[in-house]
C-alpha cells in the first residue's frame, strides 16, 4: 500500500508539472527540429539616410562575400527596411504645430542607398524585408511633438537628416498610439490603410512585394498580422512573444503568447523567432555570442541574430570595429560549427512550413531529444523535475534516443 501511494504521489506530481507548464511544453514539442545549424543575421532600421550609409552597406556586402558555408553560400544579412522619414521642407507654415509629410526611399536623393540595397540583394547577400513605412506612428508622433522637443526636432529637421534613433523608444513604436503612456490601440481601419500603404510603397521602391515583415520595436497586434498577410507578407519575425502595447514606463507589454518557429500567424503567415542580440557597438563580441549560437543549434533551432544599422552608420572608427567583429563572428562560426548553413529568413520559413527533409529532421527520436533539451532550459521546470524524479526519467529517455540517432547526410537545403 505504501509503495502504491508513493507511486501515485509521484505520478500526480508529474501530471501537475505537465499541466502547470503545458503551454510552453506544447510549444516546444510542436516547433520543428532542424537537421543542421542555421545562422541568419538580421539588420534593422536601414532606410532614408545620408550618402555615407550607401557606402557602409556596400562595405557590409563585401564582408559577407568573404565567407561561405560548405555549400558555397555566402552569409545573408536581412535588411529590415524603413521606407520614409519626415520631409522638413513641409514644416507647418501657420505656426499651429509640427506637421508630417513623408520623404520616401524612392526619391532621387536616396538613389545611392537604394542601389546599394539592390546590388547586395542581386549578389545574394542581402534580403530585403519590410520594417515599416515609418519607424513610428505619424499621428502619435505629431501629438507627442507638441510637448517633446526631440520629437519636434526630428520632424522639422533641425538636427539634420532625421534618424528615428533620436526618439524616445516608446515613440519609435508603429502599431500603437504611444503619444501618452500607457499606449492605446489603433483602430482597425487605420491599421488596414497603413499596411496597404506601406506594402505598396515597398513594392514601388524595390520592384518586388514584401514577403517578410519585422514589427517595429516588436510591438504589433493580430490585426497587423492579418493585414500584412492580405498584402502578400508570408513571414513575420518575432522575439518569441507578441507585444501589443507599451506600459506606463514605456516598456513593451505582452499578451502572454508563446510563439515558436513555424507557428501560424493571423491571416496565414508564419512566425520565425529572433532572440539573439549581436550589437558590436554595444560591446557584443564573437566570443560572447558563439555560446548562444551553439545553444540554439543544440536545441534544433535556427540562430537569428538581431543587429541594427547604428553599428555601421555614423562614426567611422565604430563602423570599422563593427565590420571587423561581424567578420570574425562569421569566420569563427564556420570554423567551430560543422555543417553550418547560411540562408535567408524567407527560405528558412519556407523549409519549416514544407517540413523540407533537407533542413528539418523528421525523425521521432530527434523530436523527442529536442523536446527534452528545450524543456530543460526552463529553470523552474528543471528544478521541480529533479525534485519529483521526473528528470531521471528524462535523462534515461534522452540517452536512449540520442544513441539511436545517426548523423544525417549533409544536404544543400534551401537558399
Secondary structure of 194-258 as H, E, C letters: HHHHHHHHHHHHHCCCCCEECCHHHECCHHHHHHHHHCCCCEEEECCCCEEEECCCCCEEECCCC
Euclidean distance between CA atoms 176 and 251, whole angstroms: 13
DSSP string, 372-415: HHHHTT-HHHHHHHHHHTHHHHHHHHHHHHHHHPPPPPP-----
Predicted TM-score (pTM) of the model is 0.93
DSSP letter assigned to residue 110: G
Q: What value does the CA radius of gyration of the chain take, rounded to a whole number of Å?
A: 23
Phi, psi angle pair for 394, to nearest 5°: -60, -40
User: Which has the closest alpha carbon to 362: 31, 35, 27?
Assistant: 35
Q: What is the pLDDT of residue 391?
A: 86
Instruction: Return the exposure string of 16-27: e unless at least 16 CB atoms fall within 10 Å of the residue's CB, then b.
Output: ebeeebeebbeb
- Which CA distances in Å does 42 have to 127, 203, 278, 385, 404? 9, 20, 10, 36, 35
pLDDT at 383: 92
d(CA 250, CA 246): 5
Q: Which CATH class, in words, describes the domain spanning 36-359?
A: alpha beta
- Name the nearest CA neighbour of 43 among 106, 120, 123, 150: 120
The conformation of residue 337, written as its DSSP 8-state character, comes to S
Query: Of 69, 82, 87, 123, whose CA–CA distance to 337 is shortest?
Result: 69
| Alpha helix segments (H runs only) across 31-82 | 52-64
Report strand pairing: 102-104 vs 84-86: antiparallel
Cα–Cα distance for residue pair 263/392, rounded to 1 Å? 31
Q: What is the pLDDT of residue 90?
A: 55
Cα angle 138-144-149, degrees, rounded to a multiple of 5: 115
User: How far is CA 405 from each of CA 38, 296, 339, 361, 400, rounded to the nearest angstrom?
Assistant: 20, 19, 17, 11, 9
354: nearest Cα among 258, 259, 257, 234? 234
Which residues of the chain are under the pLDDT cut of 70? Answer: 1, 3, 5-6, 8-10, 89-97, 158-159, 408-415
DSSP string, 158-187: TTSS--GGGS-GGGG-SSSB-SSSS-BPPP
Specify the DSSP class assigned to residue 74.
P
Distance CA 224, CA 174 (A): 11
Element (H, E) at 151: helix 149-156
Q: To 5 degrees, how large is the angle CA 139–CA 306–CA 190?
A: 20
Question: Cα–Cα–Cα angle for 398, 399, 400, nearest 5°?
Answer: 90
Contacts of 156 (CB under 8 A, 6+ apart): 86, 88, 91, 98
Annotated domain spans of the chain: 18-33+361-415, 36-359
Angstrom distance (rounded) from CA 125 to CA 120: 6
- pLDDT score, position 407: 73
Distance in angstroms (rounded) separating the CA atoms of residues 118 and 128: 8
Sign for the pseudo-dihedral over CA of 47, 53, 289, 71: positive
pLDDT score recorded for residue 390 = 86
- Distance (Å, whole) CA 28 – CA 160: 47
pLDDT digits (tens, 9 = 90+) for 231-290: 999 999 999 999 999 999 999 999 999 999 999 999 999 999 999 999 999 999 999 999
Helix (H, G, I), strand (E, B) or coil at 371: helix
Amino acid at each position: 500500500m505504501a509503495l502504491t501511494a508513493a507511486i501515485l504521489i509521484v505520478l500526480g506530481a508529474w501530471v501537475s508539472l505537465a499541466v502547470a507548464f503545458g503551454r510552453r511544453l506544447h510549444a516546444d514539442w510542436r516547433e520543428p527540429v532542424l537537421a543542421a545549424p542555421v545562422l541568419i543575421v538580421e539588420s534593422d532600421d536601414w532606410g532614408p539616410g545620408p550618402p555615407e550609409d550607401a557606402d557602409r552597406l556596400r562595405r557590409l556586402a563585401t564582408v559577407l562575400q568573404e565567407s561561405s558555408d560548405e555549400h558555397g553560400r555566402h552569409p545573408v544579412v536581412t535588411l529590415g527596411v524603413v521606407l520614409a522619414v519626415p520631409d522638413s521642407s513641409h514644416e507647418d507654415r501657420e505656426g499651429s504645430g509640427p506637421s508630417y509629410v513623408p520623404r520616401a526611399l524612392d526619391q532621387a536623393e536616396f538613389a545611392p542607398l537604394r542601389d546599394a540595397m539592390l546590388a547586395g540583394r542581386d549578389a545574394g547577400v542581402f534580403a530585403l524585408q519590410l520594417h515599416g513605412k515609418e519607424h513610428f506612428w505619424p499621428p502619435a508622433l505629431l501629438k507627442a511633438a507638441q510637448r517633446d522637443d526631440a520629437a519636434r526636432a526630428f520632424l522639422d529637421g533641425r538636427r539634420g537628416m532625421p534618424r528615428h534613433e533620436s526618439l524616445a523608444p516608446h515613440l519609435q513604436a508603429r502599431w500603437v498610439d504611444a503619444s501618452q503612456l500607457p499606449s492605446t490601440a489603433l483602430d482597425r481601419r487605420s491599421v488596414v490603410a497603413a499596411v496597404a500603404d506601406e506594402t505598396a510603397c515597398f513594392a514601388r521602391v524595390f520592384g518586388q512585394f514584401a514577403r517578410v515583415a519585422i514589427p517595429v520595436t516588436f510591438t504589433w497586434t493580430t490585426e497587423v498580422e492579418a493585414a500584412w498577410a492580405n498584402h502578400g507578407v508570408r513571414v513575420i519575425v518575432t522575439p518569441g512573444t507578441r507585444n501589443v502595447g507599451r506600459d506606463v514606463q514605456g516598456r513593451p507589454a505582452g499578451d502572454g503568447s508563446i510563439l515558436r518557429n513555424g507557428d501560424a500567424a493571423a491571416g496565414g503567415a508564419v512566425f520565425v523567432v529572433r532572440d539573439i542580440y549581436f550589437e558590436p557597438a554595444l560591446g557584443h563580441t564573437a566570443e560572447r555570442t558563439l555560446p548562444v549560437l551553439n545553444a540554439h543549434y543544440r536545441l534544433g533551432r535556427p540562430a537569428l541574430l538581431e543587429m541594427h544599422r547604428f553599428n555601421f552608420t555614423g562614426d567611422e572608427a565604430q563602423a570599422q570595429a563593427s565590420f571587423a567583429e561581424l567578420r570574425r563572428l562569421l569566420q569563427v562560426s564556420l570554423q567551430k560549427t560543422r555543417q553550418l548553413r547560411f540562408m535567408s529568413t524567407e527560405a528558412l520559413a519556407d523549409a519549416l512550413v514544407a517540413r523540407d527533409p533537407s533542413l528539418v529532421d523528421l525523425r521521432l527520436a530527434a523530436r523527442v531529444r529536442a523536446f527534452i533539451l528545450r524543456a530543460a532550459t526552463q529553470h523552474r521546470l528543471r528544478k521541480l523535475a529533479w525534485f519529483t524524479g521526473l528528470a531521471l526519467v528524462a535523462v534515461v529517455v534522452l540517452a536512449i534516443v540520442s544513441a539511436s540517432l545517426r548523423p544525417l547526410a549533409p544536404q544543400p537545403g534551401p537558399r
